[in-house]
């Protein structure tokens, strides 16, 4: 029997999945275009991109790349190589692909540049959320806490929470007290005077020159609960913003959410305003006890004599004696303990029922 001769046609070779060898080395994207994220909507990122001749120039250290006149907007999606890395308004990013900005074109975000700050809030303060963080905006250098003096009444505990969040994010806070034509600001201003937080007082149709000066050439994010007048302020500061506004419900005393997502708007005199949706809670589960306490510098010295591991909620806490000796306002200690208690699972709404007994003169 003659021995059969085999050739390559007799060997069945399974084709490979690709012709290129697999590698973990990602492209450097050295030709990527810098952009500034001004809006996020369902996985699409609207970015400002500067003209090629101006690339690399910045008007101010805190100013994001891609600002100024003559810039175009580019819609982009996140590249797969970024994985689950989140992108928020205020991020500086690198774009590749079609960055012409023409209708029906789509670029890719291939890199998120290091952030100078990140404002976060937790989904809730209760234990069953595991302190899930919700990023609000990136690279802001000023947090403008907007609160109405009436209709709806001010919520000092909410202001306290936002101040703590600003401290945690290393962002300078500022109070913007609206609707001063309905109630005087004196008591609320006096409550926060020990913290040295700057403030401006405005009213509908009033002069906004002081506010304009404080936000000029800065990236400022406006936060506050619904109905306090954030969108009205934005429309006054940026005439072509066209942000929707609403009225406060006469029965519940709460405003309706008119801003549904954060958006960055360029100020005519330089700088950026980031308008955010109104919030009814500002969780701090992601912030440590030490950071919460650091948000109350008028009380820190009083903790020197606290027992080791003091939660500042028990009778052994030395802060009671500190306040009794007139070193700090009792309302500040009450606010601190409300924040610490909420971190341990007590809901802010439950504790807010004691707002029937608010700080003197405040709602």
pLDDT tens-digit profile of 176-193? 999 999 999 999 999 888
Evaluate if pTM is beyond 0.95: no
Q: 157 exposed, middle or buried (CB, 10 Å; 0-12, 13-18, 19+)?
A: buried
Written as one string, the DSSP assignment of 18-30 is: -SSPP--PPP--T
Name the least confident of 168-172, 269-273, 274-278: 274-278
Which carries the bigger pLDDT value, residue 65 or residue 114? 114
User: Residues 19, 20, 22, CA angle at the centre, nearest 5°?
Assistant: 130
The 10s digit of each residue's pLDDT in 217-250 is 999 999 998 889 888 899 899 988 765 554 444 4
Name the least confident of 5-14, 44-53, 109-118, 245-254: 245-254
Rounded mean pLDDT, 56-75: 55
What CA–CA distance (Å, rounded) separates 10 from 226? 75
Rounded mean pLDDT, 48-60: 56
User: Of the candidates 138, 169, 171, 133, which has an alpha carbon nearest to the alpha carbon of residue 284?
Assistant: 133
Helix ranges (H only) for 140-282 are 156-169, 186-192, 209-215, 230-237
In this structure, which long-range contacts are made by residues 293-298, counting pairs with CB atoms below 8 Å and at least 24 apart in sequence?
293/336, 294/167, 295/160, 295/163, 295/164, 295/167, 295/168, 296/195, 296/332, 296/335, 296/336, 297/195, 298/194, 298/195, 298/327, 298/328, 298/329, 298/332
């Amino acid at each position: 029997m003659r021995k059969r001769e085999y050739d390559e046609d007799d060997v069945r070779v399974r084709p490979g999945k690709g012709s290129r060898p697999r590698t973990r080395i990602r492209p450097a994207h050295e030709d990527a275009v810098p952009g500034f994220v001004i809006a996020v909507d369902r996985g699409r990122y609207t970015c400002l991109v500067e003209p090629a001749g101006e690339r690399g120039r910045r008007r101010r250290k805190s100013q994001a790349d891609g600002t100024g006149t003559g810039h175009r907007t580019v819609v982009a999606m996140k590249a797969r190589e970024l994985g689950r890395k989140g992108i928020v308004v205020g991020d500086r990013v690198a774009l590749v692909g079609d960055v012409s900005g023409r209708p029906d074109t789509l670029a890719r975000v291939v890199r998120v540049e290091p952030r100078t700050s990140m404002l976060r809030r937790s989904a809730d303060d209760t234990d069953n959320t595991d302190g899930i963080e919700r990023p609000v905006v990136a690279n802001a250098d000023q947090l403008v806490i907007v609160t109405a003096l009436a209709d709806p009444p001010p919520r000092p505990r909410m202001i306290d929470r936002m101040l703590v969040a600003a401290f945690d994010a290393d962002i300078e806070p500022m109070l913007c007290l609206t609707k001063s034509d309905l109630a005087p600001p004196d008591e609320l201003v006096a409550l926060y005077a020990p913290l040295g937080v700057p403030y401006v007082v405005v009213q509908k149709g009033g002069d906004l020159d002081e506010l304009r000066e404080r936000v000029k050439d800065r990236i400022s994010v406006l936060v506050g609960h619904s109905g306090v007048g954030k969108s009205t302020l934005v429309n006054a500061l940026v005439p072509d913003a066209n942000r929707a506004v609403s009225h406060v419900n006469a029965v519940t005393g709460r405003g309706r959410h008119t801003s549904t997502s954060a958006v960055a708007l360029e100020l005519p005199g330089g700088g950026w305003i980031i308008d955010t949706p109104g919030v009814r809670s500002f969780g701090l589960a992601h912030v440590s006890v030490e950071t919460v306490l650091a948000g109350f510098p008028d009380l820190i010295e009083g903790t020197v004599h606290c027992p080791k591991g003091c939660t500042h909620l028990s009778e052994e806490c030395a802060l009671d004696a500190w306040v009794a000796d007139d070193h700090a306002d009792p309302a500040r200690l009450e606010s601190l303990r409300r924040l610490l208690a909420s971190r341990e699972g007590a809901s802010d709404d439950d504790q807010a029922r004691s707002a029937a007994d608010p700080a003197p003169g405040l709602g």
